[in-house]
Structure 1
Amino acid sequence: MKPATAGAAAPRAGAHTVVPAPRKAAPARLRALDGLRLIAALMVAAYHLGGRSGEISAAWGSSPAVQFPSMSQLFAYGCLGVHIFFVISGFVICMSGWGRSLRAFTASRIARLMPAYWAAVVLVTLVFALPWVIFEAVSPSDMLVNLTMLQEPVGSDRVLGVCWTLWVEMRFYLLFALFVVIPGATRQRVVFFCAGWTMAGVLAQASGWEPLKLAVMPEYAPFFIGGVGLYLVHRFGHDATAWAIVISSWLLGQHYAVAGLWRPAADAGFAYRSSLGIIAVVTVGYVLVAAIALGRFQWANWRWLTVAGALTYPFYLVHEHLGWVAVRFLHRHFGLPSWAVLPLTVIGLLILAWLLHRLVEQPLTPRLRKAFGR
């Protein structure tokens, strides 16, 4: 109802008035999605710390294949946790950006990403500068550029190995803001966004035009689009159009994942992966997000999953570089066996992630959201 204007007659006492419909309650948090986030982060950590079996690790002192002869090939598929992250991101950004203004959307992204990121950049730089740490720190100039999160496009050395995925995420946010948030989210507009982005990605790949490929990211776009399509299913129910978006994105996504990660056994690089194994992991990721979208995991409503979701981002940021330092310290200085070093390292990094969440994210996130949301 619109408020009465100054010249409008006031309703007579006792006259029938229209009572506004009660506002719908905010949707319940999908805690299973938080748990899946952490699983994806642990997959990536397994890859970085134990799955690069084709190289000699300065942390372990040998190839991870020597340290984990039966598990290193399985850990090699952990890099696909990034692709699962992108599917989750498509779902979550569509959900959180629906009905928001551009200012509110931008403020939420800055407040969510930057506090832990700044802390991780500073922390890793300081640790790598210690004289007994053999890993080389980036230059002061490159470290300062890293604080902008734009080091990837400007060509500076990265402080955090995983920050290339944040550059991918930023381009997704920009596209979603331009084509959905600014004009206003509707089902039809989101469907057109998914269809248009899919075709732009195909055309970019076919033409080989680098500026278009840089903008629309054909190798990663299907995963975000699949997550957006699954949110449409979650919000509006079963629909042939939404499922067509999901299925086509899965078909294209597995193609790009295999093209980017499969290598013959004789040319393994970091690790050997079979094409069927890559397809299977991508498929499981899609299926799990779809099951959460359809409410199949409503029973997984434990509060600790929310904590797990909160730890995921800071853990993801610090796990690789600080994980190397921890592995070298525990394995080569204390002589602990590799089967004990890996879980101890992960547990220690999760504790560090909790500290970053409590001491950095919780104080700064609401302040940044308020500052940029004004």
Structure 2
Amino acid sequence: MGRISLGRVVSSQSALTPPERPNMNNRRLKELDLLRFLAALAVVIFHYAFRGYARGDMSVMPYPLLAEVAKYGYLGVELFFMISGFVILMTASSNNLQVFFISRVVRLCPAFWVCCTLTFLITLAFGQPRFSADLYQYLINMTFLGDLLGVPPIDGVYWSLFVEIKFYLMISILLALKKIDKIEPCLVLWLLVSATAEVLAFEKLRSILITDYAAYFIAGATFYLIWAKGMTKPRIALVAGALALATFTAITWAESIESKYATQYDPSIIGSVIIVFFMTFLLIATNKTAAIGRLNWTTLGALTYPLYLLHQMIGFIIFNMAYPAVNAHLLLWGTVALMIAASYVIHEKIETPMARLMKRSLSFSFNRLRAD
């Protein structure tokens, strides 16, 4: 799900990180790394055990043992968006557009470029006739402009990156205007407009303001404010409003895809999952998860982004090549393990060195521009 940085909390004070809570704000929230991995794993299982075969156009391998549970795994993306709302506001708390821009480019680009390239090459080599890709599609995908230019993604999971980028742009506008300290009334306005656009189906507003996922970003950002500045009645009301909108949009979306997947979704299960997401963040925001955060989940969190980007198309190609010759259980879990291992290698050997180089280069370039 795109992507989401879990960098350390800035040590300098800002409008979003006041001095009255120094002990909490100096702690890296490693529990968010665990949440990111669990969200990614839920999406992987959704694709491998349900979505690929349920549509009938992606994977030839059914996995009925997990299908009824796995079909709810798409909600992992919604959890990603909540995490993003929290950590992106954390990153923006420096109130520095340059720092924010560099952090997003460094976080998004290296792993995406590597995973997109691998997916493109493997699709060309082994994906035919079910899957195809061409050079123009690949090049446009590499620029992150596919959604804007109407070019289909090489891997369907890329759609969430475009949602993330829209959220980044909103935060960038506030940073450019030096209004990040006014984020709270902006979140209230975003929630009200989103709820109106969803209920009345204002399509242009829905697209521009990503209203079908706005509730998750709003909730994550509000929980960050609670974590950084404390609980207030307006923030509680904002979280409650976000929960109501999130539940409405999640149930509405599930109803819209039932015919596509030839299944039925239980609204009570969807609502319960959303509530669990919100309760988990409430515990994090009120510092009730410190014991979990003391464990080192950093590595799991780091490989989440390449795992999300890499798993779907390549996994389906593996299934289509190997099934039914290879046992379905061995094939599914072996592919999950392969994707996790590949994601670790990509993060350690390629993404991290590229990110360091890009960060130095971008910082140097911006400093030169200021000097000139």
Q: Please confirm whether the aligned pair reaches a TM-score higher than 0.5, indicating the same fold.
A: yes
Which secondary structure does the structure 2 equivalent of 1:296 belong to?
coil
Secondary structure at 2:288 match in 1: coil
Map residues 143-182 of structure 1 onto 2, 5 A cutoff: 143-180=138-175, 182=177
The residue identity in structure 2 corresponding to 1:344 is G
- Secondary structure of 2:211's counterpart equals coil
Judged with a 3 Å threshold, the aligned counterparts in structure 2 of structure 1 residues 57 and 211 are, in CA distance, closer, same or farther, namely closer
Q: Distance in 1 between matches of 2:143 and 2:337?
A: 29
| Equivalent of 2:314 in 322, 329, 336 | 322
Return the alpha-carbon distance in structure 1 between the equivalents of residues 140 and 236 of structure 2.
41
Deviation for aligned residue 1:232: 0.9
Distance change (3 Å), C-alpha of 1:38 and 1:131 = closer
The 5 A counterparts of 1:173-322 are 173-180=168-175, 182-186=177-181, 189-205=182-198, 208-262=201-255, 267=259, 269=261, 271-301=263-293, 304-322=296-314
- CA gap of 1:270–1:92, structure 2 versus 1, over 3 A, is farther
Match of 1:8 in 2: none
Greater alpha carbon shift after TM alignment, 82-91 vs 26-35: 26-35
Are the counterparts in 2 of residues 258 and 275 from structure 1 also a CA contact under 8 Å?
yes
With the length of structure 2 as denominator, give the TM-score of the two structures.
0.86
Q: Distance in 2 between matches of 1:33 and 1:331?
A: 36
Asked if the contact 2:205/2:211 (under 8 Å) is kept, the reply is no
The AA in structure 2 aligned to 1:89 is: S
1:48-88 CA-to-partner distances (Å, cap 9, x unmatched) read 11122633365334xx3xx32x4201100000101011011
Amino acid at match of 1:273: Y
Q: CA deviation at 1:185?
A: 3.0
Cα contact 1:230–1:243 (8 A) shared by 2: no
Alpha-carbon contact 2:283-2:289 (below 8 Å) kept: yes
Residue 74 (str. 1) matches residue 91 (str. 2)? no
* Preserved CA contact (<8 Å) 1:125 1:143: yes
- CA offset at residue 135 of structure 1? 3.9
Question: Does the C-alpha gap of structure 1 residues 41 and 364 become closer, same or farther in structure 2, counting only changes over 3 Å?
Answer: same
TM-score, L = length of structure 1: 0.85
Is the deviation greater in 113-122 or in 318-327? 318-327
Aligned with residue 122 of structure 1, among 117, 123, 134: 117
Amino acid at match of 2:358: L
Per the TM alignment, residue 330 of structure 1 is displaced from its structure 2 partner at its CA by 4.1
Q: Distance between the aligned counterparts of 2:202 and 2:239, measured in 1?
A: 26
Question: Structure 2: how far apart are the matches of 1:226 and 1:306?
Answer: 23
Query: Does the CA contact (< 8 Å) of 2:92 and 2:100 recur in 1?
Result: yes
1: CA distance, partners of 2:201 / 2:88? 29
Secondary structure, aligned partner of 2:74: helix
**TM-align CA RMSD:** 2.2
Task: State how far apart, in whole Å, the 1-side matches of 2:97 and 2:121 are.
Answer: 36
Within a 5 Å distance, the mapping from 1:121-140 to structure 2 comes to 121-131=116-126, 134-140=129-135
Whether the 8 Å CA contact 1:117–1:314 is kept in 2: the answer is yes
Matched position secondary structure for 1:88: helix
CA deviations 1:84-130 (Å, max 9, x no partner) are 11011000101111023111101100000000001111100100111
CA distance in structure 2 between the partners assigned to 1:55 and 1:276 by the alignment: 24
Task: Give the superposition deviation at 1:372.
Answer: 2.7
* Cα contact 1:89–1:227 (8 A) shared by 2: yes
Helix, strand or coil for the counterpart of 1:114?
helix
Residue 30 of structure 1: aligned partner: 29
8 Å contact kept, 1:180–1:190: no
When the two structures are aligned, how many residues end up with a matched partner? Answer: 342
Is residue 32–residue 301 contact of structure 1 (8 Å, CA) maintained in 2? yes
1:43 counterpart SS class: helix
Which stretch has the larger CA shift, 107-116 or 194-203? 194-203
Report the alpha carbon displacement of residue 268 of structure 1 after superposing the two structures with TM. 5.8
Distance 2:295 2:108 in 1: 22
Structure 2 unmatched runs, 5+ = 1-18, 367-372
Query: Residues 91 and 229 of structure 1 are in contact (CA less than 8 Å); yes or no, is this contact kept in structure 2?
Result: yes
Post-superposition Cα deviations, 1:177-216, rounded to whole Å, max 9, x if no partner, equal 2125641432xx1211101111222343355443322211
User: Which residue number in structure 2 is paired with residue 98 of structure 1?
Assistant: 93
- The change in CA–CA distance for 1:330 and 1:212 in structure 2 (over 3 A counts) is same
Query: Structure 2 counterpart of 1:190, which letter?
Result: I
Structure 2 CA distance for partners of 1:263 and 1:116, relative to 1, 3 Å: same
For the structure 1 residues 131 and 325, does the alpha-carbon distance in structure 2 shift closer, same or farther, using more than 3 Å as the test? closer
Residue number in structure 1 paired with 2:344? 354
Whether the aligned pair in 2 keeps the contact of 1:112 and 1:365 (CA below 8 Å) is yes
Query: Equivalent pairs: percent with the same residue?
Result: 26
| Partner SS state of residue 290, structure 2 | coil
**Is the contact between residue 97 and residue 175 of structure 2 (CA under 8 Å) also seen in structure 1?**
no
Whether the 8 Å contact between 1:138 and 1:158 is mirrored in structure 2 is no
Which secondary structure does the structure 2 equivalent of 1:59 belong to? coil
Structure richer in helix, relative to its length: 2
- Residue deviations 1:117-167 (CA, integer Å, cap 9, x gap): 011111001001115754422221111100111211211021121111010
Aligned to 2:323: 331
> What residue identity is the alignment partner of 1:237?
G
Check conservation: 1:124, 1:159, Cα contact below 8 A: yes
